[in-house]
Amino acid sequence: MTNFYSETTKWLLPETVLPDSLMEMEIDGRRGNEGVVLWLGRDEGEIAEVTHLVKLRGPLVTKRPNHIHIESALFNDVADLAIDHNIRLLGQIHSHGPGYSLNLSTTDRVYGLQTPYYLSLVAPEYALSGSSIIDCGVHVFRPERGYVRLNDAEVSRQINIVPGPHLPFIEVGGLG
């Protein structure tokens, strides 16, 4: 049986991915809510490269001070978008509020995506503090272990910030 998911050990993030994602999440953070940006792209062998950013809008996403809920129908729309662009969902970044951990919450672990080699970052302070990758909690879903938080050395080895332009930001779920 062919495995759809590559055993990713290195992610390439153009240098604009984190600042652009934080800027999008700041919109919700200024309202006192968590924010989220999905990262789509391509993977080949052990390397995955983020090529598109997705902002979620509309009634199928709920953003609260300590919770984000994304309806399955909205993920279906994201999947359709990925198929249309010949890419796939590689990961995401979401924010936690002031005083909350950079670890994934129980809700993140139980109800979040459990896709092999999915990259999940947690930005602090509702993404209002202009964080760098080292300021975030960086987690990878390992099929045999579930989500594992990478330490600083693992982040340095596995997450490569590379030169590149601003990536396309695609809105999914908006009303028009």
Tell me the pTM.
0.94
Number of separate domains in the chain: 1
Tokens standing for residue 24: 């999008």
Q: In sequence order, which residues have a C-beta less than 8 Å from that of residue 175 and are 6 or more positions away?
A: 57, 58
pLDDT of 127 strictly over 60: yes
User: Does 175 have pLDDT greater than 70?
Assistant: no
Is 89 contained in some domain? yes
Statement: residue 44 has pLDDT above 80? yes
Domain that holds residue 158: 10-172
Q: Supply the pLDDT for residue 120.
A: 96
The answer as to whether 3 is a domain residue is: no
Alpha carbon 145 to its chain centroid, in Å, reads 19
Residue 164 C-alpha from the chain's centroid: 18
Q: Does 92 map to a domain?
A: yes
The answer to whether position 5 is within a domain reads no
Confidence of residue 4 (pLDDT cuts 50, 70, 90): low
- Domain contains 4: no
Confidence (pLDDT) at 2? 43
What whole-number distance in Å separates Cα of residue 118 and Cα of residue 16? 20
Distance CA 37, CA 176 (A): 19
The tens digit of pLDDT for each residue in 130-159 reads 779 999 999 999 999 999 999 999 999 999
Cα–Cα distance measured from residue 24 to residue 28, given in angstroms and rounded to the nearest whole number: 8
Query: Residue 1: inside a domain, yes or no?
Result: no
Kindly state the average pLDDT of the residues 75-101: 95
* pLDDT for res 33: 98
Given a cut of 60, whether residue 67 has pLDDT beyond it is: yes
Please check whether residue 153 lies inside any domain of the structure.
yes
Q: Kindly report the CATH number assigned to the domain that includes residue 157.
A: 3.40.140.10
Domain membership of residue 149 (yes or no) is yes
What average pLDDT does the segment 57-84 reach?
95
Segment 94-118 shows an average pLDDT of: 90
